[in-house]
Chains A and B, each alone.
Chain A
Amino acid sequence: MSDHHTNDRRGFLRCMAWAGTGALWTVSGGLASSISLDQAAAKPAQAKGFTFLQISDSHVGFAKPANPDAKATFQEAVAKIIAMPVKPDFIIHTGDITQLSKDSEFDDADQIIKQAGLTVFNVPGEHDMLDEGQGKAFLNRYGKGTKGAGWHSFDHKGVHFVALINVVNLKAGGMGSLGAEQLQWLKDDLAGRPSSQPIVVFAHIPLWTVYADWGWGTDDAAQALTFLKRFGSVTVLNGHIHQITQKVEGNVHFHTARSTAFPQPVGGQGPSPGPLKVPTEQLHSMLGITTASFVRGQDQIALIDATLAS
Chain B
Amino acid sequence: MSMKLSTRQVDGVTIVDCSGRITLGEGSVTLRDTVRDLLAKGNKKIVLNLGDVNYIDSSGIGELVSAFTTTKNQGGELKLLHLTKKVHDLLQITKLYTVFDVKDDEAAAVKAFK
A is bound by B = no
On B, residues with C-beta under 8 Å from A are none
